């Protein structure tokens, strides 16, 4: 739970009663709003003076009708051509609902490169925790309390020194929307010993007033896309086949049990894609996937880099010490009709090759948990995970996080699993470093959100693309085991690349003004 510095809060950090909290109403006048926040600002500033360092006050307000993607579109549309916006967006299905989180602006940020990146991430989050004070409200014992907590967004690179802007960010502004409920708008405000309380109160009033105005504005016509012919995707088949053969040779001599080969395909589009519209399209057409976008701020007139995609694979979910991990490996296409779809599913479930590929992933996760003294609960047989254009074998793994073990400690052991790297882990990584001809950036790397108490939701950055203006790099991969057939693996990579190709071809309606 975030620390409590307010005298009207009980020992639990929760308000003792509704009258103890002076709520903000966005319909109130500026003078009323500033007066409401005066005690909070004064208490936080007193703490900053006592500790000698700035504190962070995290304030939230539920707002009806506020759409995170519409806010992102307006924020991007309001920028002059020479400016860019750093932002993080993650939208994932949970128990039949879609949870959408947007953060923009950087209040605190940590570069996530180098071999000690997971340890540095843990230290960053734990170092922030005593200095971030959340109000109003308390943290109920329910996953919904993510609405009442400031979140940090993390994007790792696949390898310690991968390029692409890997970072851990506490944003200045955050929105969280659970499907069918109010959106929670959050402002993280730095308060130093010499800060001007009146100016800070003005910032608070301005932020919530702007969010209220955006909530009352007409929503974009997300379903009014203009389909265009999809761009041509040219896989360098000869070079890819040669790499698959090298992997099979390494497996044959016993150096590896499995290697996951990735392919990168570069495209140049007629114009830069409209990112919010593209994300809305992915949510609509890949409802069972986690849709994400991480954009870094750029300097000068260079376009920002945006890493986005629709991932079917949740790497790690941690809530109050309970851990859930997806093992996803083994793939086949969807059928053209119900009968063909069922036949392909049966083929996948009975495939010795796919079952073997899947079990290496389960084993790699089991070993990673074992190194931390964890005893996972694993389903005896994989089940089908059906997506829009592909179906996978999936095993859900559950465990309890031992005391003193942080989410980032577990992540350091897990990444990369045999689903995206290979098995054994270190041998596969060395093989990829030698033979893979491009930097994966954040492809197949962990990304998502964490809170200051060690809870988090992380997905694997697959079915993804790195976008820089009109230039796009698409990524996809396939797992190679002893009885893999090279031509089939190339076909699987082509199939996975299609997840984003059609989305990149669409054009938003002219009326959106992006």
Reply yes or no on whether the pLDDT at 19 is more than 50: no
193 exposure class (CB count in 10 Å sphere: 0-12, 13-18, 19+): middle
Reply yes or no on whether the pLDDT at 82 is more than 80: no
Residues 325 and 209 in one domain: no
CATH number of the domain encompassing residue 475: 3.60.120.10
Residues 121 and 270 in one domain: no
Domain contains 10: no
Instruction: Determine the Cα angle at 331 with ends 328 and 337, to 5°.
Output: 125
Confidence of residue 231 (pLDDT cuts 50, 70, 90): confident
pLDDT average, residue stretch 8-28 = 32
User: Among the options 34, 263, 313, 457, which is catalytic?
Assistant: 313
Residues 324 and 381 in one domain: yes
Confidence of residue 94 (pLDDT cuts 50, 70, 90): confident
Domain membership of residue 77 as a residue range? 18-216
Domain contains 444: yes
Q: Indicate if 353 belongs to the active site.
A: no
From residue 56, how far is each of 17, 60, 409, 456 by CA, in Å? 24, 13, 26, 20
pLDDT average, residue stretch 106-127 = 95
Q: What is the DSSP string of 116-177?
A: THHHHHHHHHHHHGGGEEEESS---SSGGGGGGS-EEEEE--SSTT--S--EEEEEEEEEEE
Residues 398 and 363 in one domain: yes
Reply yes or no on whether the pLDDT at 498 is more than 60: yes
Reply yes or no on whether the pLDDT at 9 is more than 60: no
Residues 264 and 157 in one domain: no
Domain contains 62: yes
Residues 390 and 441 in one domain: yes
Contact status, residue 33 vs residue 210, Cβ threshold 8 Å: no
Task: Report pLDDT digits (tens) over 322-343.
Answer: 999 999 999 999 999 999 999 9
Tokens for 22, please give them: 């002076």
Separation of alpha carbons 92 and 291, rounded Å: 6
Residues 209 and 79 in one domain: yes
What's residue 363's pLDDT?
A: 95
Domain contains 325: yes
Residues 126 and 192 in one domain: yes
What's residue 138's pLDDT?
A: 36
Tokens for 90, please give them: 């993650």
Confidence of residue 242 (pLDDT cuts 50, 70, 90): very high
Reply yes or no on whether the pLDDT at 170 is more than 70: yes
**Beta carbons within 8 Å of 312's beta carbon, 6+ residues apart:** 286, 288, 289, 290, 328, 385, 387, 390, 392, 462, 463
Domain contains 304: no
Task: Report pLDDT digits (tens) over 411-463.
Answer: 999 999 999 999 999 999 999 999 999 999 999 999 999 999 999 999 999 99
pLDDT higher at 475 or 39: 475
Residues 164 and 266 in one domain: no
What's residue 455's pLDDT?
A: 95
Contact status, residue 203 vs residue 34, Cβ threshold 8 Å: no
What's residue 227's pLDDT?
A: 67
Reply yes or no on whether the pLDDT at 72 is more than 50: yes
Report strand pairing: 183-191 vs 464-468.
unpaired
Query: For the chain, what is the domain count?
Result: 2
Residues 188 and 264 in one domain: no
Residues 165 and 246 in one domain: no
Tokens for 15, please give them: 């308000």
Contact status, residue 300 vs residue 83, Cβ threshold 8 Å: no
| φ and ψ of 105, to 5 deg | 75, 145
Domain contains 4: no
Confidence of residue 502 (pLDDT cuts 50, 70, 90): confident
Which residues sit opposite 109 in a β-bridge?
169
What's residue 299's pLDDT?
A: 66
Reply yes or no on whether the pLDDT at 21 is more than 60: no
pLDDT average, residue stretch 494-505 = 86
Domain contains 291: no
Domain contains 499: yes
| Omega of the bond leading into 136 within 30 degrees of 0 (cis) | yes
Separation of alpha carbons 117 and 47, rounded Å: 30
Q: What is the DSSP string of 449-494?
A: EEETTS-EEEEE--SEEEEETTEEEEEEEEEE-TT--HHHHHHHHH
Residues 212 and 318 in one domain: no
**Beta carbons within 8 Å of 323's beta carbon, 6+ residues apart:** 316, 317, 374, 398, 399, 400, 401, 410
Q: Indicate if 194 belongs to the active site.
A: no
Task: Report pLDDT digits (tens) over 129-145.
Answer: 999 998 654 333 433 44
Q: Of 309, 347, 321, which is closest to residue 405 (Cα–Cα)? A: 321
What burial letters (b/e) apply to 211-243, b meaning 16+ CB within 10 Å? bbebbeeeebebeebeeeeebebebeeeebeeb
User: Among the options 34, 258, 357, 457, which is catalytic?
Assistant: 258
Distance of CA 402 to the CA centre of its chain: 24
């Amino acid at each position: 739970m975030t620390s409590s510095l307010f005298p009207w809060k009980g020992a639990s950090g929760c308000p003792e009663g509704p009258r103890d909290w002076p709520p903000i109403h966005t319909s109130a006048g500026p003078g009323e709003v500033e007066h409401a926040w005066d005690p909070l600002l004064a208490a936080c500033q007193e703490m900053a003076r006592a500790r000698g360092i700035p504190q962070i006050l995290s304030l939230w307000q539920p707002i009806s009708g506020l759409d995170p993607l519409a806010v992102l579109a307006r924020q991007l549309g309001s920028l002059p051509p020479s400016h860019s916006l750093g932002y993080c967006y993650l939208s994932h299905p949970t128990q039949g609902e879609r949870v959408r989180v947007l953060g923009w602006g950087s209040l605190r940020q940590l570069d996530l490169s180098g071999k000690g990146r997971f340890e540095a991430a843990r230290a960053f989050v734990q170092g922030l925790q005593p200095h971030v004070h959340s109000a109003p409200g308390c943290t109920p014992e329910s996953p919904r309390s993510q609405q009442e907590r400031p979140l940090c967004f993390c994007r790792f690179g696949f390898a310690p020194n991968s390029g692409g802007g890997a970072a851990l960010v506490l944003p200045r502004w955050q929105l969280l929307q659970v499907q069918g409920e109010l959106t929670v708008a959050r402002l993280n405000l730095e308060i130093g010993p010499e800060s001007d309380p009146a100016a800070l109160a003005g910032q608070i009033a301005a932020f919530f007033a702007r969010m209220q105005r955006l909530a009352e504005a007409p929503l974009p016509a997300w379903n009014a896309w203009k389909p265009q012919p999809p761009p041509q995707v040219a896989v360098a088949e000869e070079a890819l086949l040669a790499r698959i053969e090298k992997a099979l040779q390494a497996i044959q001599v016993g150096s590896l049990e499995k290697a996951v080969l990735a392919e990168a395909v570069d495209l140049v589009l007629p114009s830069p894609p409209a990112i919010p519209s593209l994300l809305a399209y992915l949510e609509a057409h890949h409802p069972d996937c986690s849709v994400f976008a991480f954009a870094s701020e750029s300097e000068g007139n260079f376009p920002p880099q945006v890493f986005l995609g629709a991932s079917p694979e949740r790497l790690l979910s941690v809530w109050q010490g309970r851990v859930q991990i997806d093992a996803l490996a083994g793939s086949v296409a969807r059928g053209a009709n119900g009968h063909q779809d069922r036949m392909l599913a049966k083929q996948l479930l009975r495939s010795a090759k796919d079952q073997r590929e899947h079990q290496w992933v389960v084993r790699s996760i089991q070993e990673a948990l074992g190194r931390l003294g964890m005893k996972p609960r694993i389903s005896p047989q994989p089940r089908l995970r059906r997506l829009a254009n592909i179906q996978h074998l999936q095993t859900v793994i559950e465990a309890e996080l031992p005391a003193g073990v942080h989410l980032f400690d577990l992540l350091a052991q897990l990444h990369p699993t045999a689903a995206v790297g290979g098995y054994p882990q270190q041998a596969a990584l060395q093989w990829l470093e030698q033979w893979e001809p491009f930097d994966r950036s954040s492809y197949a790397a962990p990304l998502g959100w964490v809170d200051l108490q060690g809870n988090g939701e992380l997905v694997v950055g697959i079915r993804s693309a790195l976008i820089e203006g009109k230039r796009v790099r698409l990524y996809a991969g396939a797992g190679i085991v002893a009885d893999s057939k090279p031509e089939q693996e190339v076909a699987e990579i082509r199939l996975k690349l299609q997840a984003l190709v059609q989305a990149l071809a669409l054009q938003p309606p002219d009326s959106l003004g992006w």
